[in-house]
Amino acid sequence: MLSPYRVLDLTNERGLLCGQILGDLGADVVQVEPPGGSPARSIGPFYGGEAHPDRSLFWWAYNRNKRAVTLDLDSARGRELFLRLVRSADFLIESDEPGRMAARGLGYDDLATANPGLIYVSITPFGQEGPKAHYAATDLTVWAAGGPLALAGDYDRPPVRVSVPQAFLHGCADAAVGALVALFARHATGRGQHVDVSAQHSVTQATFGATLYKPLGLAQGHRVSGGITYGPLTMRWVYPAKDGYVSVSLLFGSAAGPMTHRLMAYICEEGFCDEATRDKDWDGYYELVFSGREPVEEFERVKQVVESFTKTRTKAELLRAALDRGLLIAPIVTVDEVAASEQLAARAYWRDLEHAELGARVRYPGPFVQFSETPIAYRLRPPCVGEHNRDVFVDELGLSRGELAELEAQGMV
């Protein structure tokens, strides 16, 4: 779909997913790394457990469908070669601290002169401008600064993050959308532009409109393990099963109420509650609790009833019941259970890529969308350091092998 387009991906560990999304969609993505390789290659875990720049599973996760070259952008010769690459590029993605690219003469304004059609995408913790633009940042601190951290965790412990870093991935996925919107703008105007993405801003989406509470004069909910508390009402999603945990959406109102009716009918049928409990007004239950007509203790008892039932059933039994009866229950699964999913197998989700350099076949998460006409192809396994230097510098830019060898000797590539 994007096969006519060339992407130069300069991002470090904060921006890699954006280029991979464009690569999955067919673009020719060239990862440009400093000599010796990207710092992202030092992030674990590692294939076989051994730290090695070509065995970082973090690197593998976000660099499929890319080629890779090394180039020293802090040297004049490196920048000169890079500018030649820029002339034929459609997109450039970078994730340096704001101002750093400009200081090298590689800011948007500099490159737009060389290539007015260039779409220049920046992914940073807080955006290009503003009081926090130069803050030191990591996944945890951006997750804190953007709001989702405060809303998750046990009430008697500090708020808790997702154990696999998320914050910059939100920014990357937004950036891919921004890059494509800018491509449509270019079709109309012939001009590229600067797309400025802030991971902090991107993760605010994960608060479900919580940023609106204060302007609307409302109070935000408070975190509680496996749920959230609004005033007197503690909503709980996590329930024990016989062999682990399940997520149960015990929700009310006209849309979700009918599913709670079905759940309570099932629980009653199985002998875990009486008919009076089954027949409560689940459509109007929020109003009942908030108005005080239903005591909060009674809602607490209802949740205990649900728990007394779920803990007698396995996750698989509860999922089966959810499918058969139209209930809002899902198993809380571990990573190995994800890998063993029958659903993913039935859809041929997983993709194996040959890592000839290791003599191994590696199983990767599959396409993010199934396209009927232009299916996402896993064309290239994540590249080793400098793997495509000759392809790009000799075959495409027209350097001689001797010149490339000289650059290598100078530590330029």
Partner 1 sequence: MSGDGPLAGVKVLDLMWVMAGPAASRVLADYGAIVVHVESTKRIDTARTMAPFLGGVAGPENSALFQSLNAGKYGVTLDLSSEQGREVALDLVRWADVVMESFSPKAMRAWGLDYQSLRAIKPELIMLSTCLMGQTGPLAGFAGFGSLASAISGFHNLTGWPDRPPAGPFGAYTDTFAPRFTAAAVLAALEYRRRTGRGQYLDQSQAEASLHFLAPALLDYTTNGRVLGPLGNRDPAMAPHGVYPAAEEERWVAIAVEGDAQWRSLCDLMGRSELAAEARFATATGRLACQDELDGIVASWTRGRSARELEALLQSRGVAASAVESSSDLSEDEQLRQRDLLVDVEHEVHGTIPVEGSRLRLSDTPAVIDRAAPTFGRDNHFVLRELLGYGEERIAELVAAGALE
Q: Residue 154: which residues within 8 A CB-CB, separation 6 or more?
A: 160, 223, 224, 225
Decide if 142 contacts 168 (C-beta within 8 A): yes
Does residue 240 interact with partner 1 by CB under 8 A? yes
Residues 160-189 that bind partner 1 (CB under 8 A): 160-164, 166, 169-170, 173-178, 180-185, 187-189
Q: Residue 377: which residues within 8 A CB-CB, separation 6 or more?
A: 26, 65
- Residue 331, helix vs strand vs coil: strand
DSSP state letter for 223: E
Does residue 377 interact with partner 1 by CB under 8 A? no
Decide if 89 contacts 77 (C-beta within 8 A): no
Smaller CB separation from partner 1, 83 or 362: 362
Least separation, in Å, of the C-beta of 291 and partner 1? 11
Residues 333-352 that bind partner 1 (CB under 8 A): 333-339, 342-344, 346-347, 349-350
Does residue 276 interact with partner 1 by CB under 8 A? no
Smaller CB separation from partner 1, 245 or 303: 245
Each residue 68-97 as x (binds partner 1 by CB under 8 A) or -, in order, gives ------------------------------
Q: Residues 191, 293, 301, 401: which binds partner 1 (CB under 8 A)? A: 191
Stretches 70-78, 300-308, 330-338, 399-407: which one binds partner 1 (CB under 8 A)? 330-338
Decide if 98 contacts 133 (C-beta within 8 A): yes
Q: In this structure, what token pair is assigned to residue 382?
A: 């994540």
- List strand residue ranges (DSSP E) for 12-77, in order: 28-33, 66-70
Decide if 52 contacts 58 (C-beta within 8 A): no
Q: Residues 228, 288, 380, 412: which binds partner 1 (CB under 8 A)? A: 228
Each residue 282-321 as x (binds partner 1 by CB under 8 A) or -, in order, gives ----xx-------------------------------x--
Stretches 86-94, 210-218, 304-312, 385-393: which one binds partner 1 (CB under 8 A)? 210-218
Residue 173, Cβ density class (10 Å: 0-12 exposed, 13-18 middle, ≥19 buried):
middle
Least separation, in Å, of the C-beta of 402 and partner 1? 39
Decide if 78 contacts 114 (C-beta within 8 A): no
Does residue 140 interact with partner 1 by CB under 8 A? yes
Residues 246-275 that bind partner 1 (CB under 8 A): 246-247, 249, 251, 253-256
Residue 90's nearest CA partner among 105, 70, 111 is 111
Q: Residues 332, 380, 394, 412: which binds partner 1 (CB under 8 A)? A: 332
Q: Residues 19, 35, 107, 146: which binds partner 1 (CB under 8 A)? A: 146
Decide if 257 contacts 326 (C-beta within 8 A): no
Q: Residue 152: which residues within 8 A CB-CB, separation 6 or more?
A: 159, 160, 161, 223
Give me the residue label for tokens 């470090």.
Answer: 12
Smaller CB separation from partner 1, 274 or 337: 337
- Residue 127, helix vs strand vs coil: coil
Smaller CB separation from partner 1, 219 or 276: 219
Residues 13-52 that bind partner 1 (CB under 8 A): 17, 21, 25-26, 43-45, 47-49
Q: In this structure, what token pair is assigned to residue 137?
A: 């940042």
By CB under 8 A, how many residues form the interface with partner 1? 155
Amino acid at site 217: G
Smaller CB separation from partner 1, 38 or 193: 193
